[in-house]
Structure 1
Amino acid sequence: MQSEAERVQDIALMSKANIPIEFIRSEHEQPGITTVHGKVLECPTIDFSNQDDEEILNQIVEASRNWGMYQIVNHDIPNEAISKLQAVGKAFFELPPEEKEVYAKPPDSKSVEGYGTKLQKELEGKKGWVDHLFHRVWPPSAINYQFWPKNPPSYREANEEYVKHLHKVVDKLFKVLSLGLGLEGQELKKAAGGDDMVYLLKINYYPPCPRPDLALGVVAHTDMSALTILVPNDVQGLQACRDGQWYDVRYIPNALVIHIGDQMEIMSNGKYKSVLHRSTVNKEKTRLSWPVFIEPPQDRVVGPLPQLVKEDNPPKYKAKKFGDYCYCKLNKIPQ
């Protein structure tokens, strides 16, 4: 178990005007210097209630190729299911430290599941201003309930309800993205593991930070997943890189933020692009976000789909087991 002093939530309580040196980013990363201020990125917003299937397909394909991220509104996940998911996650992080430590990620664990702070090998020993909780929410055979908080009591019910609605969105996205590559509707989902695809929930908890101009919550990265579906709270913090510049992404209440992940880029042989993004922190307010990473099973070999590889379009990526891909990425080993 980590000593409690290492939790960012506790460090935040002790930090009044300054922050520990290991949270201060180098100048090429500091949001105060590297953010384009006064301009909010209007990444594509796609209305899922649109009856014109072709229009939705074109919008999703265009956004997945040129942006790697978009927001979906009118997605049929009830607002109440989203707000309950958010309420129970927030309540967990407001528990006393010793109650949260019960769910701490075991030190020798090969999995990311559990409550924790450190995630990946950070260059220069830097740290992100964030604590997290990871646990799988689908399929039932992959769920490890020891990492699901017992408190608040409605935690499990709220998560299961949200995931029940999420399936429809996932299936629709995979189908449309598949059709957008000129393939049958089920090909991409099949390639990513079909019904064995894993839904991994992460709750990011970014406490108030006295120097938000110097720190980052999560550093610049692309997601390892095939797709990521995220709901944030209303505190601004998501940034995306566009033409080498960092911009705030506009917050839309109850929208789902979609990120194309690395596995989707690999399967599409580079047609769809995984998005480079990061999160900033706020001086007064706590930001939370709930990404669900839609991933192949660990032993699934993922590579460019054979149907997309031709003489004039050779494979741009190596095929490898998803688990090996993650290990390399988290430990900064070239793929």
Structure 2
Amino acid sequence: MELKRVQALAFSCLPTETIPEEFIWPETEQPAITTYKGPVVPKIPTIDMSEPNREKLVQAISEASQDWGIFQVVKHGIPGDLISRLQRAGREFFELPQEEKEAYAKIPGSRSIEGYGSMLQKDFNGKKGWVDHLFHKIWPPSSINHQFWPKNPPSYREVNEEYAGYMREVVDKLFGALSLGLGLEEHVLKEAVGGEELQYNLKINYYPPCPRPDLALGVVAHTDLSALTVLVPNEVPGLQVLKDGHWIDAEYIPNALIIHIGDQIEILSNGRYRSVLHRTTVDRNRERMSWPVFLEPPMDFVVGPLGQLVDEQNPPKFKSKKFRDYMFCKLNKLPQ
């Protein structure tokens, strides 16, 4: 079935109580059944990045990265107005006619992840996520291909370039704190994932209203390939993380950034920091959107457990390999 017909079928907003079979997940993964509803629901840690006591800030980030693999940051330095403009530009793009959005579609046969598309590829169990997306790089300049940056709305390029500038400052602070939390010098972790060649991959996830959000998922449970993921959500809840065997909803905090520890940081820390298992749910009446930036090494950059963190008592738990090879194995569900 061609892409447009599938999208029209999958993302129809018609008042119906049914969705196509390929979007209905097994009971073991359906949100209505598996979301934690206990009397006291644990909350993802929230960290104030303006904390003047550096040691206290480092400890909070380190503990959250070990215990949860995810945390939210407030007072991070990115203006609330800029976040609103970023969200507005992304929303306006997804409100365009389908033909206009497809002008930015991923190039057929390309190995690149950049471009507009739909997560309509089947998982190995034959199920699909209820989501559209736009993917492109925002840093470093040598990696940017403006072919995939929408020209409409006209503000799109300006706001994303401004956001990338602020994002770099936040990312440097996060890597510094994570390094110090491992007893390393401040620069170590960032350099270990590429330094100034670190790739900033922006993705806009668009989850249309779904008539049966109890049966569907936006994105199935996964950990991120990245070193870190820095995410801006909209006001519609949907991010869930697995904590102590339970799926926990992430609280919406206006203008907060949600920080995911990704696979590469888990590898570098030899398992001391953990890559968070997470998934997304959808809403019956509202559109959910998110703006994650995936911070990834260059493709041929080798990542492995840091020598400072391994010894006879703590042998390497992961193999060192090129990020390209790690990505290939993970996407194709091959042993690492």
- TM (normalized to structure 1)? 0.97
Closer/same/farther in 2, CA of residues 8 and 191 from structure 1, 3 Å limit: farther
Equivalent residue, structure 1, for 2:222: 221
- Superposition RMSD on alpha carbons, in Å? 1.6
Name the amino acid aligned to 1:302: V
Structure 1, gaps ≥5 residues long: none
Structure 2, gaps ≥5 residues long: none
For residue 165 of structure 1, report the CA deviation from its aligned partner. Answer: 0.5
For residue 41 of structure 1, report the CA deviation from its aligned partner. Answer: 3.8
8 Å CA contact retained: 1:121, 1:332: no
Equivalent residue, structure 2, for 1:28: 28
Name the amino acid aligned to 2:17: A
* Deviation readout 1:207-230 (Å, 9 max, x if unpaired): 000000000001100111000000
Closer/same/farther in 2, CA of residues 294 and 58 from structure 1, 3 Å limit: same
- C-alpha distance in 1, partners of 2:245/2:278? 11
Question: Is 2:312 the partner of 1:282?
Answer: no
- C-alpha distance in 2, partners of 1:312/1:2? 55
- Deviates most, 122-131 or 3-12: 3-12
Equivalent residue, structure 2, for 1:12: 12
Closer/same/farther in 2, CA of residues 133 and 40 from structure 1, 3 Å limit: farther
8 Å CA contact retained: 2:120, 2:128: no
For residue 14 of structure 1, report the CA deviation from its aligned partner. Answer: 4.8
For residue 6 of structure 1, report the CA deviation from its aligned partner. Answer: 2.4
For residue 130 of structure 1, report the CA deviation from its aligned partner. Answer: 0.4
SS at match of 2:89: helix
8 Å CA contact retained: 1:260, 1:272: yes
Name the amino acid aligned to 1:113: E
Equivalent residue, structure 2, for 1:54: 55
* Deviation readout 1:295-315 (Å, 9 max, x if unpaired): 101110100011111111110
SS at match of 1:266: helix
SS at match of 1:62: helix
For residue 49 of structure 1, report the CA deviation from its aligned partner. Answer: 1.2
Equivalent residue, structure 1, for 2:314: 313
SS at match of 2:134: strand
- C-alpha distance in 1, partners of 2:15/2:199? 38
Equivalent residue, structure 2, for 1:167: 168
Percent identical across equivalent pairs?
63
Task: Output aligned runs, 1:177-216, within 5 Å.
Answer: 177-216=178-217
- C-alpha distance in 2, partners of 1:289/1:253? 13
Question: Is 2:64 the partner of 1:68?
Answer: no
- C-alpha distance in 1, partners of 2:8/2:125? 18
* Deviation readout 1:21-49 (Å, 9 max, x if unpaired): 00000111000110113665411110011
8 Å CA contact retained: 1:8, 1:131: no
- C-alpha distance in 1, partners of 2:120/2:310? 34
- C-alpha distance in 1, partners of 2:95/2:9? 10
User: Which ranges of 4 or more aligned residues in structure 1 deviate by more than 4 Å?
Assistant: none
Question: Is 2:85 the partner of 1:84?
Answer: yes
For residue 10 of structure 1, report the CA deviation from its aligned partner. Answer: 5.8
Equivalent residue, structure 1, for 2:134: 133
* Deviation readout 1:111-147 (Å, 9 max, x if unpaired): 1111111376612211000011100000000011111
* Deviation readout 1:64-91 (Å, 9 max, x if unpaired): 0111000000011000110111000000
Name the amino acid aligned to 1:203: I
Name the amino acid aligned to 1:186: H
8 Å CA contact retained: 1:5, 1:11: no
- TM (normalized to structure 2)? 0.96
8 Å CA contact retained: 1:128, 1:219: yes
SS at match of 1:64: helix
Closer/same/farther in 2, CA of residues 139 and 241 from structure 1, 3 Å limit: same
Equivalent residue, structure 1, for 2:113: 112
